[in-house]
């Protein structure tokens, strides 16, 4: 196993609504749970910190298509920004907002709930979508001496992507565990574009065999 000293595992949005039959299901989203659990509770050296993120939207959130009487996946300019509108998902306190039932939540050190602002979404685990309002994650990782961040979860081309990009901007050595993510990939090819952007930014794309 590679050296995990001063490293954190960031599990992004592994929630019911992003898994099959959920309100905003990612194809194969439940297939990565066992592999992530193996990293959360490995037989050998563990990550210094395990951080989970979760969408936690109030009803009538600005990112919901229903809020604007529009169709899901359409776009709308909101406060001067082009916003993708989604089906209602991960509403605070709802079943869909819960973590996948098999995920070893009890092993986590911190849960970041994001997208709580009624008038702003939050794809990244580090910032709301204005790019300036922090979630507190950077301070937490810095305070605990974390230098390397390993990301997995849902979805690769959205919240994993934005979280990884902010991670490396903050100076963390950043890795995305490709076989422990799944993509929305709409339109087709979008996920490949995001992967190329990550590599160009200096993010390491690995798979779970890296830890063996």
Catalytic residues: 13, 114, 159
Say if CB 121 and CB 54 are below 8 A apart: no
Contacts 24+ apart (CB under 8 A), 81-86: 81/129, 83/121, 86/24
Q: Are 17 and 56 in contact (CB under 8 A)?
A: no
Can you name the residues that pair with 52 across neighbouring β-strands?
Answer: 11, 111
End-to-end CA distance of the chain: give it in Å, rounded.
5
């Amino acid at each position: 196993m590679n050296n995990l000293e001063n490293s954190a595992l960031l599990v992004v949005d592994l929630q019911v609504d992003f898994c099959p039959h959920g309100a905003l299901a990612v194809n194969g989203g439940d297939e990565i749970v066992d592999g992530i659990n193996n990293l959360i509770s490995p037989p050998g050296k563990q990550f210094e910190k395990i951080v989970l993120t979760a969408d936690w939207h109030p009803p009538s959130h600005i990112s919901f298509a229903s809020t604007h009487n529009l169709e899901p996946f359409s776009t709308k300019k909101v406060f001067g920004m082009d916003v993708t509108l989604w089906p209602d998902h991960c509403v605070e306190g709802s079943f869909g907002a819960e973590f996948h039932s098999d995920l070893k939540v009890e092993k986590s050190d911190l849960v970041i709930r994001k997208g709580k602002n009624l008038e702003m979404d939050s794809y990244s685990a580090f910032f709301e979508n204005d790019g300036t309002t922090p979630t507190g994650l950077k301070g937490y990782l810095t305070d605990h001496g974390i230098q390397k961040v390993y990301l997995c979860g849902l979805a690769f081309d959205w919240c994993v992507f934005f979280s990884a990009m902010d991670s490396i901007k903050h100076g963390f050595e950043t890795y995305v565990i490709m076989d422990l993510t799944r993509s929305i990939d709409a339109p087709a090819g979008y996920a490949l574009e995001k992967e190329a952007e990550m590599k160009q930014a200096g993010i390491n794309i690995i798979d779970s065999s890296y830890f063996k």
